[in-house]
Structure 1
């Protein structure tokens, strides 16, 4: 395209060539100038608005004043400190519960395993405490990151405690520490030397006798595997159960047996009923405990039950 311009006074003729490339360059230049002017106007407008009308700036562009920013940080800092205080209290509470649990574990652990429990208590490693400092004065972002990291460590510690306590609970369930019979019974004969009821001579009694009516449920003292469930002339109908750490419990003179050899049973499960079979003067449960093949006093295992029985 060509434009011809004729000057009136001099009658000069000027020609201007217009191409599509030239038009495109002109359009691009015009657009850049418009965008630049728009950005400058936008920036200057918000700067003026912040100074003379903060509400308008906040509504239009999300801008807050320095005072508002400070107030927001103060509010967040207060909430953050409250959170850290709660985390500190939670950490202390976990330690209290851990000590309480260890006391219970010590109480219910059979006497023959006390040394084993002490032998497994070896610990070590660098001291890296998890600290929550409610009075932190550093940048809020850094304190928040530190708190998040400590919270993650605390969560890992809780999960580790949960795994350890679950393992200990499962281990304790496999030990014959539960009552072999309901508590509403009488202890008729203790472990050790006694006068034999048939010969009236001194003899060794390898277990304890619980006097109870025929048909009273006999309970498994712990999780385990039934080794024997049969009849013997001395023990009558009896059951032997293998437990963890080489413990074996024995239940004798039963009138009925509800389990068989090779059967897995659970703590508290009814395995038989009190009777008067074998060498017995009346209905009762004869209960024995052996550890690593040696007979031990069941009252070393059933200390809590023995206290209850002695009080009756």
Structure 2
């Protein structure tokens, strides 16, 4: 295709050759300009009409925006309903956790009255079956946060109390100081096997071979490790609350004063040092400096065996008087 342009003023003409490609590009450019112009005019008319309140344009704008707002509201309502359902599930689980915490209170030796509860009473966020507004949902979330904080505080108290109880149990001498050896001579008055006179036996005797491990009956701190004329090689362990255990006549001692020992730890070996008639362990328990029957402690832990009659073992021995060492 050729276009001939004639200029009458200068009496000359110009020829433009148009190929198919040039015509196509020109058409596309013209179409693009028309589209951009239409879009710009559309937005200008609608914006101006919306601002100035043109009757027809204003109605169209309200119709379009109403649909958009309705769709947005449906989307937000669906999300709020899902969040409310989740909050309801969390509130139900929080109630289960609260009931579980109250049951654990009994195991820790506490009662609900001993624990302060903010707001005075039980309960958390109430999530109704109807649709919740954003403000109601926010209040429910705040209530759940408050209840969860209370539960964390309660569980912290319970953990501390149960840990304290666990430690206290470990500090009570309920483990047999010699494994697989029933006690021989019992705590109490009997005939001294050396003097033949009546005397108080202040502990339990465990007859065993020399070198048999002596175990700590409970965890504690070694407060004495020495040789005593009557107790021989002796170890004393303080378990707190003025509770002390004593292990006498050892052939070898494996701990020293100031050492921390755990329940069941090997602290010495059986021997026959001091005032003794044969290899055995003499085991004592003292509370506030007063001798106690060790069998009661061992029986509480299921470690005590049957006690034979006083003085029935060859290694049994007693001290001439209660206050003297070397029983």
Give the TM-score taking structure 2 as reference length: 0.63
Please give the residue correspondences for 1:1-312 in structure 2 after superposition, counting only pairs within 5 Å.
37=47, 40=50, 48-49=63-64, 57=68, 63-66=71-74, 68-102=75-109, 123=114, 128-132=120-124, 136=128, 139-173=136-170, 175-306=171-302, 309-310=305-306
Q: Secondary structure of 1:197's match?
A: coil
Whole-Å Cα distance in 2 between the matches of residues 294 and 270 of structure 1? 25
Displacement of 1:129 in angstroms is 2.9
| Structure 1 residues 252-300: Cα deviation after superposition (integer angstroms, max 9, x where no partner) | 1212101123434344332111222233343322111111121112234
Q: Secondary structure of 1:251's match?
A: strand
Displacement of 1:71 in angstroms is 4.0
What is the aligned partner in structure 1 of residue 33 from structure 2? none
Displacement of 1:198 in angstroms is 3.2
**Structure with more contact order per residue of length (Cα contacts < 8 Å, sep ≥ 6):** 2
Displacement of 1:162 in angstroms is 2.5
Displacement of 1:134 in angstroms is 6.0
Point out the structure with max Rg over C-alpha: 2
Q: Secondary structure of 1:260's match?
A: coil
Q: Unaligned stretches of 5+ in structure 1?
A: 1-32, 104-121
Aligned residue-pair number: 252
Displacement of 1:35 in angstroms is 11
Whole-Å Cα distance in 2 between the matches of residues 180 and 271 of structure 1? 13
Q: Unaligned stretches of 5+ in structure 2?
A: 1-42, 52-56, 308-327
Displacement of 1:136 in angstroms is 4.6
CA 245–48 in structure 1, closer or farther in 2 if over 3 Å, else same: same
CA 135–194 in structure 1, closer or farther in 2 if over 3 Å, else same: farther
Give the TM-score taking structure 1 as reference length: 0.66
CA 307–247 in structure 1, closer or farther in 2 if over 3 Å, else same: closer
Whole-Å Cα distance in 1 between the matches of residues 48 and 204 of structure 2? 98
Q: Which has the higher helix share?
A: 1
CA 89–213 in structure 1, closer or farther in 2 if over 3 Å, else same: farther
Q: Secondary structure of 2:278's match?
A: coil
Displacement of 1:63 in angstroms is 4.5
Whole-Å Cα distance in 1 between the matches of residues 102 and 151 of structure 2? 11
